[in-house]
Amino acid sequence: MSIFDMFNIFAPIKQHFTSLKEDSSTGGVFVIFGMLPLAAVIFFNTQDLILFNYDIANTLLTIFSILIGFTISILTLLLEYVNSGADENVRQLHKHTYYNTNYLLILGILILIFGIITYPIMLKKMMRTQTIVVSAIYFLIANYLLTLLLIVKRYSKLFDKKISTRITQHQ
């Protein structure tokens, strides 16, 4: 194992998209997680609606620092919750939720990195570069929010199944 294998973020990203593809029989995954955020960024860019300044950068860095900690808590909860005695569908749902949460963590870290990169770009007033970096940030934020909604939906399914099982056991 090389030192670069420790920092390989492509495996969790691939696992995330593979899990989405397995859960969807249509090509809607590509549209929702690729085309929708891209179309939103293009629309906002053409309408000059993408705002970015030091206050927004500071707010983003603060929010995503907190959300990264929250995501690590979600991973811990998920790993604590995993039940080896569950049926195959529940185990697969656990696995896919784990992959999606890892992807969410990577997105949050990337947003932080891009947010930090914007400071010197804003200082040097490199407008074209700033537009590209800020567009990437907005694309990642849109992806982050969509993935967060997906994880919330999967957690609600997992907890609904767990609650239903416990209610059945107590009757």
Per-residue pLDDT of 55-103, as tens digits, reads 888 999 999 999 999 999 888 887 777 665 567 888 888 888 899 999 9
Whether pTM exceeds 0.85 = no
**What is the helix (H) or strand (E) element at residue 160, kind and residue range?**
helix 127-170
Contacts 24+ apart (CB under 8 A), 73-82: 74/101, 74/104, 74/151, 74/155, 75/101, 75/102, 75/105, 81/158, 81/162
Amino acid (one-letter) located at 36: L
28 part of a folded domain: no
Tell me which of 107 and 45 has the higher pLDDT: 107
20 part of a folded domain: no
Q: What is the pLDDT of residue 102?
A: 92
47 part of a folded domain: no
Report the distance separating Cα 109 and Cα 86, nearest Å.
Answer: 32
Tell me which of 56 and 165 has the higher pLDDT: 56
148 part of a folded domain: yes
Q: Domain containing 151: what range?
A: 52-164
152 part of a folded domain: yes
- CA pseudo-torsion sign 38, 44, 48, 49: negative
1 part of a folded domain: no
Q: What is the pLDDT of residue 85?
A: 59
Q: What is the pLDDT of residue 145?
A: 94
2 part of a folded domain: no
Query: CA separation (Å) from 59 to 29, 31, 64, 114, 117?
Result: 30, 29, 8, 13, 15
Number of domains comprising the chain:
1
16 part of a folded domain: no
